[in-house]
Amino acid sequence: MTTLFVSDLHLTLQRPAIGKIFLDFLRGPARRAEALYILGDIFEIWLGDDAVVDEYRPYIEAMKSFSDTGIPLYVMRGNRDFLLSTGFESMTGAQLLDHTIVIDLYGTPTLLMHGDLLCTDDVDYQKFRKMILSNEWQDEFLSMTVAERVEYGRMLREKSREAMQEKKEMIMDVNQGAVEVTMREHQVTQLIHGHTHRPDIHRFGLDGKTVTRTVLPDWYEHGGVLACDESGCRLEEL
């Protein structure tokens, strides 16, 4: 049996081919897994559990069908779908995870994150992240009408695109010092995350041990998954 990890699907009507790959994945390979973890950014944007757009409903129904098989489905909020809440859990049968969580992955304590918290060099983004995760900001946003949220979300995406064009690539990657501090804090030798869209398996020394940081692939051009079992973990293309 394997445990599967994916992230950064960014499902949207504008990329229907990726949506089909996700549906096929849930109906096929994922059903042979011991558990499925989605570590953030399933959707391009999530405006609240009470504002589900029609284009997302096939994916929600597919997740519910998958979880109904009894295979655990774990979902972590990302920077695009940080408003996922209990309504999403009810609709999909998924269990929402905290922003950082340690699991026992076949005997190896493993830290799971979306990954954006590790991008400490991007100071402006970290300030923005702190704002949108505050109860005050979320309460105010969710008090808007759905139409107002759609417009606000469009504005945020546009500002995000403009900001990314002006930033250096390395600023938007993880900070190695932050990685080491975080892994040391959680006492783990393995970290799995997404967000940076730089899939790879990094091995480095930390406190006299060889540790591993695995970056999950995004789903912009094709699907990608990290498959782990007792023999180890490997990145696979779908």
Percentage of the chain lying above the pLDDT 90 cut: 87
What per-residue confidence (pLDDT) applies to 170? 61
Q: Which two tokens stand for residue 216?
A: 């999950």
Tens digits of residue pLDDT in 200-215: 999 999 999 999 999 9
> Rounded CA gap, 157 and 203, in Å?
34
Please, what is the Cα angle at 175 between 39 and 192, to 5 degrees?
Answer: 25
Bridge partners, residue 229, by sequence:
232
Domain coordinates in residue numbering, the chain? 2-237
Closest of 182, 191, 187 to residue 213, by C-alpha: 191
The pLDDT score that the predictor gives to residue 167 is 60
CA atoms of 79 and 224, how far apart (whole Å): 19
AA identity, residue 98: D
Looking at residues 117-132, what average pLDDT do you find?
94
* 2-237: CATH class: alpha beta
Q: In terms of DSSP bridges, do strands 100-105 and 209-215 run parallel, antiparallel, or are they unpaired?
A: unpaired
Digit-coded pLDDT (tens) for 132-175: 999 999 999 999 999 999 898 888 878 777 766 666 666 679 99
DSSP string over 69-122? TT--EEEE--SSSTT--HHHHHHH--EEE-SEEEEEETTEEEEEE-SGGG-TT-
